[in-house]
Copies of this chain bind each other. A is one copy, B any other.
């Protein structure tokens, strides 16, 4: 329902509004976020906001979609060169944690979506699972990983990434931002995943 900006300048303005919305929703939560605060943060007039968005819910939904796209893009790029699924998991988790360190607000915004916009939450998880499920099914068929159920496995792996990121990145966030995942935590996480996925020995 939003008007896609036709000019580079329009796209830049829209991106500035989304950046500001990310900060505001991440800091004070959806309920306490106001369009005034979002436009002030973006340095645009209220009327400009309404050129691109219908209101708070729509900017929230588009923000989830935007973060989701950026996250998947980052992970897809990271795993492109991986020679097999286990290496792809390692590269994918590395990229996921790095994105979480850069954009810790992602978590908070997705958790709020449970109440604010269940559609946005379903879209977020659904799009991630969709690609993940297919990749796991192909790897399982090829014998690169154990004969797992691709859908349950995709969700289980997402759940691991989320909770480890919450505990060791999000909860450690300080005034100078969120830290990277500690190396030992990363290795222990990958050990767990590798055990769960590796093919049975002959």
B residues within 8 A CB of A161?
159
Give the interface size bracket for A toward B: 35 or more
Residue of B nearest to A158 (CB): B163
- Interchain CA distance A145-B29 in the complex, whole Å: 41
Which of A56-64, A94-102, A109-117 forms contacts with chain B? Answer: A109-117
A146: Cβ under 8 A from any B Cβ? yes
**B residues near A111, Cβ cutoff 8 Å:** 111, 114
Question: Which chain B positions have C-beta within 8 A of A112?
Answer: 115
Across the interface, do A163 and B159 meet the contact criterion of CB distance under 8 Å? yes
**Could you say how many copies of this chain the assembly holds?**
2
A21 to chain B, nearest CB (A): 16
Interface residues of A in 33-90 (CB under 8 A from B): none
Q: Which of B29, B115, B192, B195 contacts A152 (CB 8 A)?
A: B192
Taking Cβ atoms with an 8 Å cutoff, the residues of A that contact B are 29, 31, 107-108, 111-112, 114-115, 122, 125, 146, 148-149, 152-153, 155-156, 158-164, 167, 171, 184-185, 188-189, 191-193, 195-198, 201
